[in-house]
Amino acid sequence: MSVGSTTGKRRHPGLNLHESDAHPSDGEVMFGFWVFMMSDAVLFALLFAVYASLGVNTAGGPGPHDVFELGPAAMETLLLLLSSFTFGIASLAMKYRRGMALLQGMLALTLLLGLGFLGLEVHDFATLQGKGALPQVSAFLSAFYALVPTHFLHVSLGCVWIVVMMVQLRMSGLDRTTRTRLLRLGLFWHFLDIVWVMIFSFVFLRGML
């Protein structure tokens, strides 16, 4: 409930700010973002379902065995997991006020790892094209190209957001707005990590077995 006792400072559930005086509307914004991510998770779940039902229809074209390579996918997983780790350090740097340098540095590192992930994926897509595995070939490939690039698009937006975040941190430091924005960006970034792990297990690992 948004309005509790009005006496004394109150700790806000779900707000990892290490502050006992978080503003009530901060909790509202965070909760709204959680709800948004539930909706986004439904979107991914449906794309997974589409992949599950169409992924077997290769229509005489190449199948998962012919086109997927586990090595690069594992590498991408590693990069994204690392980026979640560096973002975690950034969040802790904010929580325990360890200075702007560490915070910005960790965000920059996260960005680099994210960009590395995107770069590897672009390379993957190019390799697939080289093998003639175009989205127009079969329902399997269409479903693949709907699911994985949607995640790609999310990570790209996440990278743009990190850049914007770093600029805004430079401009206005850690105030209420940047703090909660950083928290939301963190949620978003870890969420994308989880979705990727599912893509890795469900699309790549299962496809190769």
Partner 1 sequence: MRIEVLAGPWLGRLSLSALPTDSPVAAGAALVAVLGALGVAGYITAKGRWGYLWREWFTSVDHKRIGIMYVVLALVMLARAVIEALVMRLQQADAINQSGFISAEHFGQLFSTHGSIMIFFMAMPFLTGVINYVMPLQIGARDVSFPVLNSISLMLTAAGAALVMISLVLAPFSTGGWSGYAPFTELRFSPGVGVDYWIWAVTLSSIGSTLTGINFAVTIYKKRAPGMHLFRMPLFCWTALCTSILMIFAMPALTVATALLALDRYLGMHFFTSGGGGNMMVYANLFWLFGHPEVYIVVLPSFGVFSELFSTFSAKKLYGYTSLVLATMTIAVLSFTVWLHHFFTMGQSAHINAAFGIATMLIGIPTGVKVYDWILTMFRGRVRFTTPLLWGLAFLVTFVIGGLSGILLAIPPVDFLVHNTTFLVAHFHNMLIPGTLFGMIAAYQFWFPKAFGFRLEERWGRVAFGCWVTGFYLAFMPLYVLGLEGMPRRSAEVFDEAFRPWLLLAAGGAVLIVLGMAALVLQLAMSIRHRDRNRVTVGDPWDGRSLEWSTSSPPPEYNFAEVPEVEGRDAFWTMKRSGRAYPALDRYAPILLPENSAIGPWLGVLGLATAFGLVWRIGWMAGLGTAGALFAVIGWSFVRRSGRTVGERQVERTETRWHAALVAAVPVSREHECDPRNRGLADVAA
What is the contact surface with partner 1 in residues (CB under 8 A)? 1-3, 27-28, 31-32, 35-36, 38-40, 42-43, 46-47, 50, 53-54, 57-59, 135-140, 142-143, 145-146, 160, 164, 168, 171-172, 177, 181
- Gap between the Cα atoms of 155 and 166, Å rounded: 16
With both helix axes pointing from N to C terminus, report the angle between 70-95 and 100-130 in degrees, rounded to the nearest 10. 160
Q: Give min distance, CB of 85 to partner 1, in A.
A: 26
CB 191, CB 84: distance < 8 Å: no
Give 26 or 193: the residue with its C-beta nearer to partner 1.
26
Residue closer to partner 1, measured from CB, 71 or 130:
130
CB of 144 to partner 1, least distance (A): 10
**H-state helical runs in 55-175:** 64-67, 70-95, 100-130, 139-172
**Closest distance between partner 1 and the C-beta of residue 193, in Å?**
20
- Cβ proximity to partner 1: between 3 and 101 the closer is 3
CA–CA distance, 95 with 28 (Å, rounded to integer): 19
Neighbours of 18 (CB within 10 A): 12
Nearer to partner 1, 63 or 88 (CB): 63
Please state the closest distance from residue 203 (CB atom) to partner 1, in A: 16
